[in-house]
Structure 1
Amino acid sequence: MFVMDTRLQEDTWLIGDFPLCRLLLSNDSNYPWFILVPRREGISELFQLNDHDQQLMWNETTALAQVLKEVFGADKMNVATLGNVVSQLHMHVIVRYQADVAWPGPVWGKHPAKPYTRDQVCAIRDRLKPVLDAGFTFSEGES
């Protein structure tokens, strides 16, 4: 049974689900920072997913990064799995701008998080809704 790490639950907004991954928005409005979490139990490393799920996770990550780059007009997309604090496998997909507060360095621990308002999250959902794949389901009003 899939259970999401409590830190991910506490630090993000739920956006919706791809076929494999839950899509979250990091509660830091300094950057459009999304997180994909495969809905599989007990997985901390990409290589622990079976071959099909590995390919699906890469496909979802790539599709999301491509959409985010277009929708948000990114200068650069940062994609990474780290897991040093949260061991549950999750993929960061972060929209970066040359004018963002951490450019050109990493976003981790550079600046205090600026939480989103519910209205801001709804606006982001609205921006993504028309361009995401038809297999994607949105989570209305959940945090």
Structure 2
Amino acid sequence: MKNLFIQRFVVSTLLIILGIIQIIFDTSGRFNFGYIIVFLGGIILLYSTISYIKSRKNISLEKELAKEYDERDALIDGKVARFSLYILMCEVFILMFLTNYVVIPTNTALFVILVSLIISESGSRKYYNLSL
């Protein structure tokens, strides 16, 4: 759990820093997406901090209920990876089709792909944990 907290913390601070840099260096009169990136980084930082504090309270219970990595977990990981790969392929094909008609910035396309993969991975992991 501590490793996940560190990963989330690093990602959220990088998002906040990148958003601030984008806010500072954006001179166009259009809407600045740097504010959204900073807000997203703040939400991730808040979520990771709250979940880490909750997990610290349940360490004794977690030690009692800890289990070994078994075949069921490997099966779930395989199904989640396969589902995520399928989603990625579909998104790439859709984006390839859309770029014939609309100009899509690379950063926006990659951000959409990353967010959708994060959502689909967490959703499919919960689904496969409940179904098996």
Higher RCO (CA < 8 A, seq sep 6+): 1
Greater share of strand residues, 1 or 2? 1
TM-score (norm 2): 0.27
Greater share of helix residues, 1 or 2? 2
TM-score (norm 1): 0.26
Larger gyration radius, structure 1 or structure 2: 2
